[in-house]
Structure 1
């Protein structure tokens, strides 16, 4: 694994993780670079650099030999792969009473029960406010206060979630499939029906395949679509609920999405289940298209990342084209 490729692709998220663990913002990049340099040999030998770097970063910040007492953090720690916020203790002089404050974690893609459990594990009292919608019941729409805000230990957080409405909703299997796919990525508590081999596209370009029988934390799912989707989904959003507005439709997708050509994969339905997470009016939303084969199983997943920035897969991911090139003997 090339260390500089990994550094370029993950540095920003590692810095955010270090800040969440309690490192001052002006020192976070320095701490991350120190960890990367110290772990260089292990990264070179690793197929999954995060499994080396994230524990080393936590050790450096929370309990390593070079730790300084001023950086000690109490509470639950979540790494960038889970994309959950980190509870912190407010630093105060010894002469003052310490008031515990906790950052509200991201609840995107969770059920109301999962959200309440996560908040309670973080030391936050939670209650659920149900909003009738045609989406499956129990899907989290956001929270009050929103994710990223800091609350006192005695302050309750309201989880806003969908509920079955009194009115009649038009049937849509797409809504069930779309929410199941989000839960598959975020919490692993559900999974839609996948084909044995799922073709993946990122920003309009083929990005290899994933095993439909594997969890979202397996390497093919994780590096190609899970991490980019979760990173885009949990970004701070300037609305009352603190998370992207999620809309799920079924139909033929447009020819382009955010200036990127929409893939027209063969062997699947021309219609897709389209999951759109809108963070703001002035940016391209995170868009996921799920295409099914003749048996009704998801055989293609196509993702367009927020902002239409064309990030594609992380730099260290080998696509199917790369692998084919490696298998092709040199001419002559």
Structure 2
């Protein structure tokens, strides 16, 4: 697995793990970065690096475990037999396998693309008791960065859940803070979590089929005006994506948002439209799929001198 993609997907979970091991919150990012740097080669070779990274993190914080002087093979073998037998009984009695590409109503929803207020509203509508806690993170303020339980865990009405929202640790933590904030604003609006971003009096929409649509500013602020282009539909689908990582414990991956340069990442996943590519005031972002395969969905927001969005170009995700 690509180490950078793994870092993007599991960063906040690893920070929480480090804190659970006793690391001070302000020191957790440094510790996690050091562990990830040392484990890059092993992460690259592993299909699912979670176990090896967690072990390395525990070793870095607590020290490596002492090796026993004798292996006591008979006891280990007996334990293995018990575990296998228990697993066989569980396999016979277990319910249907969890879905791999969506979450049921009795599972904790993915909170990717939510801020604290929207996440609380969603969870309370499902009958859950919600507590919000700030969490030092390199993310736009008040964006949800984690939850307890995590996405995909089985839940019931009345359960207590904790939503962790970003509290930027330093002003230099995110060098692209304003661009990332705009990307989240567009996604909030597309998903019905927030108001429309600032649109220019005329807005060109370039959907994935090569056509073009011209909207007035008032039309652009109305999600119904975007139905023909399917741009907002693509954004909703991308943010709702989940992927089953493992069944025991039940673990799901969610998408990742990244700000990119307008000229980056287009060689294999499509070139920008030359009719709008000459403009310079542009914010480009991608949404990586939960399973990190294929080309990510890519959006380019072109703005006028007043920072209002005057063109939107969509490059769809592909497997």
Structures share a fold, TM > 0.5?
yes
Equivalent position of 1:156 in the other structure: 160
Equivalent position of 2:129 in the other structure: 125
Cα–Cα, structure 1 residues 219 and 300, in superposed 2: closer, same or farther, change >3 Å?
same
How far apart are residue 180 of structure 1 and its match?
A: 1.1
* Paired residues for 1:242-261 under 5 Å: 242-249=253-260, 251-254=261-264, 256=266, 258-261=268-271
Equivalent position of 1:276 in the other structure: 286
SS at match of 1:291: strand
Contact 2:115 2:143 in 1 (8 A): yes
Instruction: Identify which of 293, 298, 301 aligns with 1:290.
Output: 301
* Paired residues for 1:38-53 under 5 Å: none
The runs of at least 4 aligned residues of structure 1 exceeding 6 Å deviation read none
Contact 2:188 2:194 in 1 (8 A): yes
Partners of 1:234 and 1:168 in 2: CA distance: 30
Contact 1:184 1:216 in 2 (8 A): no
Instruction: Identify which of 223, 226, 229 aligns with 1:220.
Output: 226
Partners of 1:103 and 1:157 in 2: CA distance: 12
Partners of 2:239 and 2:276 in 1: CA distance: 28
Cα–Cα, structure 1 residues 267 and 295, in superposed 2: closer, same or farther, change >3 Å?
farther
Equivalent position of 2:149 in the other structure: 145
How far apart are residue 268 of structure 1 and its match?
A: 7.0
Q: What runs of 5+ residues in structure 1 fail to find an aligned partner?
A: 1-83, 88-101, 309-332
Cα–Cα, structure 1 residues 142 and 226, in superposed 2: closer, same or farther, change >3 Å?
farther
Q: State whether structure 2 residue 307 is matched by structure 1 residue 301.
A: no
Equivalent position of 1:174 in the other structure: 179
* Paired residues for 1:25-40 under 5 Å: none
Task: Give the length in aligned residue pairs.
Answer: 210
Contact 1:200 1:224 in 2 (8 A): no
Q: State whether structure 2 residue 230 is matched by structure 1 residue 230.
A: no
SS at match of 1:247: strand
Partners of 2:317 and 2:244 in 1: CA distance: 15
Partners of 1:304 and 1:266 in 2: CA distance: 14
TM-score using structure 2 length: 0.56
Partners of 1:210 and 1:108 in 2: CA distance: 29
Instruction: Answer with 1 or 2: which has the greater Rg.
Output: 2
Contact 1:268 1:292 in 2 (8 A): no
Query: CA RMSD for the aligned pairs?
Result: 3.1
Moved more, 270-279 or 142-151: 142-151
Moved more, 285-294 or 143-152: 143-152
